[in-house]
Amino acid sequence: METKNYAASIQLPDTDLVFRNIRNAKRFAIDIGGSLTKIAYYSTVSHRKVLYNADKDSTTSVDGDEYHYESSETERLHFVKFETKYIEHWLDFIRNHLIQSRESMVGKSIKATGGGAYKYAELIQQKLGLMVEKEDEIGSLIKGCNFLLRNIPDEQFSYDRHGDPEYRFINTEPSIFPYLLVNIGSGVSIMKVEADDKYERIGGTSMGGGTFWGLGSLLTKARGFDELLHLASEGDHRNVDLLVKDIYGGDYSALGLTGGIIASSFGKAMHHGHTKTDDTPGFSEADIARSLLFTVSNDIGQIASLYAMLHGLKRVYFGGYFLRNHPVSMHTISFAINYWSRGGVQALFLRHEGYLGAIGAFLRGAEECDTEKYSWGENYAGSSGLQSPLPHPAVGGWPGGTIDQLEMDRCDQQLTFFPLLANPGEYKPDAVDLTKDKEARDYWLSCFESSLGSFVNRAISSQPNSPDSQERANKFRDKYLQRLRNLKNHPFAYGNLTVRSLLDMREHCLNEFDFPDPYLLQKKMENEHALKLLKDHLSMIDGLEYGCRQEALVRGVLAGNVFDWGAKEVVQLMEKGLGFKEAADKLQARPWLHDDLDAWIERQQKVPYKCAVIFLDNSGCDVVLGIIPFARELLGRGTRVILCANSKPALNDVTAEELVVLMKQVALLCPVLGKHLEDGTLCIRESGHASPCLDLSRLPQTLVEELVDWKCDLVVVEGMGRAVHTNLLTSFTCDSLKLAVIKNRWLAQRLGGEMFSVMCKYEAGTRKEEQTSKFPKIS
């Protein structure tokens, strides 16, 4: 049955090569710095995708005709960083791998920025046949910065070398403006950014990366910026700098200056007015390099904080080659900012700081990236993490080493904040931050690693007729394993480490190796099974008196939620065959772990809601026997219901597309629901997600507008991924109901319960009125 549906030939991306998918590159930009060059390109990636023939008459058919695989294109941005000294090799590499001949490039252009844009213009033109168009450096930086802040949730972080964790990622607020951008290149430019097109250079200093590099080259034998940084990391500045305690013998407590504070940089390097003695100096070249690094970083931090205070700005982002996420420099700058602003200004760094210029230059006039129309997301499978460059063998004239890259996939919509969050500025989806919680981190990393085998098997069996599925599945395994192991040492590599990021990373890796929907058959089978039970289930429900019915509906959702292929222990049960009644019996006895059932039932006695949005979880019993009856009850009371499902597959979660097909079948079984579907009082919407979790700061703009128009006053979030791993602690301006069954023994115990503990959390909205007019938008 699969053979005929299997798309014939998909050109897989060159998964283990740098400059992935370069043959499909459509557009280029380059940022050439003194030591590092960044290339940005846009490509389309072919993916196998399941398409449903929703318009087909034979919607009742259950034997596989209603969907087929098709090859579909998705848009991707690639950013690759390499040392400028290898620029010629890489340009050759790109030329040799482009599908189009060099001649076809003639007349096309490449956007270029950075100090080397002019120097290498001719080389680029000669190698690639592209016209070089220079882009303003500062304008590019700001455009790149805005793009990253809007599209990568954990882009910004504060750094504290002595902190645990060292990296604290800051959530993006609905408005990213205003901010100060301090670009530390050779010199330092300081920009005040108030809107996309409103920014000015308000100052700067000539003491920047070039000063560190230049003075360092004069004072030490280190050659090159990196060598100098390395030298600095081994030195002790106290041998070169005059400290407060060298002058005072201790602290200068009247001014609150502790003895360790530097009173005079390089103050110990001076000879004291008489001819030099034979004494060797009390410091080494490493000490000098360290002192120099401190001198420059401190100074930049101080000047940046003065500008921030003068302009009343609290957020200061740092970019440019000087920092390069180097811990000592970030630490010194953070310290200086905090010290001089007395805590009033925060130094923030960007995970992809090195790419700002390249991204900005690329975005200039790139219509397909129109940030008004689309949002982008980081692809974990194709991106190297913070301080986790990917090892790579030699290519062409490049001797091999590590590669830093970032890949971003285009979402089909513009995403924005859920309009009914109580504190959108402080919204963090995840309940537990694994970067902070070592015990939880260790558990989840090993849990994901140990369950990897079953995912590999599932992936292979989902494409039984594909000759290379085994090979691809192995590649998937290797890639995900490499990521998991790197995260053990660098939990901060992709922002906050969370169960969500681990789940999403697995989905990204599966997709990367062309396993777009390993649970396709399973979902289909379970839906069919559940549909058979629906009619009787609905009659049973309808036979109950009001109060009992409300309880039965909630219990139905919970029983349905047991059917989760993401939960290892449940998978074992399901593989043996698990019935809906059996599942209901597994549920914890009341009182539940969190039990607001009575409050919810009481609320159901009062005025009906105007509009409810339900974020769905699994296919099969979950949606059919749990959610559909629950929604039907709301509809019966005159509430408009929006069923919000994943845009793309993740585990056995129902997708919006599948739901459309499914609801047509439901409509035949229950004409009342069919009528609601027809009238639009029951509708199906995409969540914009391809994840088992839910990030309420990234919902489709169109959905958000509807929620506002329809005066949505109830949000129902269902399942472990959406209501426990994420959003457990989120409060809303409207009423909310969070329903989930905890199907992980470790997590259940940690929350103070047992396996199959029930989370039933009903909360009244923080604001009853005026919840509709204003809603935040990422601007």
- Nearest distance from residue 127's CB to other proteins, in Å? 25
What is d(CA 622, CA 739) in angstroms, rounded to the nearest whole number? 12
Per CB under 8 A, the segment of 24-32, 89-97, 184-192, 634-642 that binds other proteins is: 184-192
Q: Does 241 bind other proteins (CB under 8 A)?
A: yes
What is d(CA 508, CA 525) in angstroms, rounded to the nearest whole number? 25
**Helices 520-542 and 656-669, packing angle to 10 deg:** 40
Residue from 66, 299, 507, 633 in contact with other proteins (CB under 8 A): 299
Q: Does 302 bind other proteins (CB under 8 A)?
A: yes
In this structure, the dihedral spanned by the alpha carbons of residues 53, 55, 57 and 61, taken in order and rounded to 10 degrees, is 30
Contact between 602 and 629 (Cβ < 8 Å):
no
Q: Does 247 bind other proteins (CB under 8 A)?
A: yes
User: Mind giving me the DSSP string for 429-475?
Assistant: -BS--TTT-HHHHHHHHHHHHHTHHHHHHHHHHHSTT-TTHHHHHHH
Q: Does 660 bind other proteins (CB under 8 A)?
A: no
- Restricted to residues 253-292, the positions that interact with other proteins (CB under 8 A) are 254-255, 261-276, 288
Strand-pair partners of 754: none
- Restricted to residues 219-238, the positions that interact with other proteins (CB under 8 A) are 219, 225
Residue from 29, 30, 215, 625 in contact with other proteins (CB under 8 A): 215
Residue in 123, 99, 134 with CA at minimum distance from that of residue 24:
99
Q: Does 329 bind other proteins (CB under 8 A)?
A: no
Q: Does 193 bind other proteins (CB under 8 A)?
A: no
What does DSSP say about strands 67-83 and 735-742: parallel, antiparallel, or unpaired?
unpaired
Residue number, 218 or 607, with CB nearest to other proteins: 218
- Nearest distance from residue 80's CB to other proteins, in Å? 25
Q: Does 217 bind other proteins (CB under 8 A)?
A: yes
Per CB under 8 A, the segment of 90-98, 180-188, 407-415, 542-550 that binds other proteins is: 180-188
Separation in Å, CA 514 to CA 4, 390, 476, 518, 622: 18, 21, 9, 10, 27
Per CB under 8 A, the segment of 173-181, 301-309, 365-373, 402-410 that binds other proteins is: 301-309
Q: Does 252 bind other proteins (CB under 8 A)?
A: yes
List all residues 6 or more positions away from 607 whose beta carbon is below 8 Å from its beta carbon.
Answer: none
Residue from 115, 389, 396, 608 in contact with other proteins (CB under 8 A): 115
Residue number, 241 or 504, with CB nearest to other proteins: 241
Residue number, 205 or 463, with CB nearest to other proteins: 205
Residue from 206, 280, 489, 539 in contact with other proteins (CB under 8 A): 206
Residue number, 247 or 599, with CB nearest to other proteins: 247
Q: Does 239 bind other proteins (CB under 8 A)?
A: no
In this structure, the dihedral spanned by the alpha carbons of residues 695, 698, 701 and 702, taken in order and rounded to 10 degrees, is -40
Residue in 414, 433, 498, 427 with CA at minimum distance from that of residue 732:
427
Residue number, 232 or 244, with CB nearest to other proteins: 244
Residue number, 225 or 448, with CB nearest to other proteins: 225
Q: Does 328 bind other proteins (CB under 8 A)?
A: no
Residue in 529, 617, 501 with CA at minimum distance from that of residue 567:
617
- Nearest distance from residue 240's CB to other proteins, in Å? 7
- Nearest distance from residue 322's CB to other proteins, in Å? 11
Q: Does 244 bind other proteins (CB under 8 A)?
A: yes
Residue from 309, 599, 670, 708 in contact with other proteins (CB under 8 A): 309
Residue number, 146 or 298, with CB nearest to other proteins: 298
What is d(CA 324, CA 154) in angstroms, rounded to the nearest whole number? 17
What is d(CA 439, CA 435) in angstroms, rounded to the nearest whole number? 10
Tokens of 459: 């992936």
Longest dimension (CA), the chain: 104
**String of b and e for 570-579 (b: at least 16 CB within 10 Å)?**
bbebbeeebe
- Nearest distance from residue 758's CB to other proteins, in Å? 57
- Reduced to 3 states (helix: H, G, I; strand: E, B; else coil), residue 735 is strand
Q: Does 773 bind other proteins (CB under 8 A)?
A: no
Residue number, 328 or 599, with CB nearest to other proteins: 328
What is d(CA 46, CA 13) in angstroms, rounded to the nearest whole number? 8
- Nearest distance from residue 198's CB to other proteins, in Å? 15
Contact between 613 and 716 (Cβ < 8 Å):
yes
Q: How far is CA 418 from the centre of its chain?
A: 17
Per CB under 8 A, the segment of 101-109, 239-247, 518-526, 747-755 that binds other proteins is: 239-247
Residue in 464, 484, 489 with CA at minimum distance from that of residue 165:
489
Q: Does 649 bind other proteins (CB under 8 A)?
A: no
- Restricted to residues 528-567, the positions that interact with other proteins (CB under 8 A) are none
Q: Does 138 bind other proteins (CB under 8 A)?
A: yes
Residues near other proteins, by CB under 8 A: 34, 115, 136, 138, 185-187, 189, 200-201, 203, 205-208, 210-211, 213-215, 217-219, 225, 240-242, 244, 246-250, 252, 254-255, 261-276, 288, 295, 298-299, 302-303, 306-307, 309-310, 340
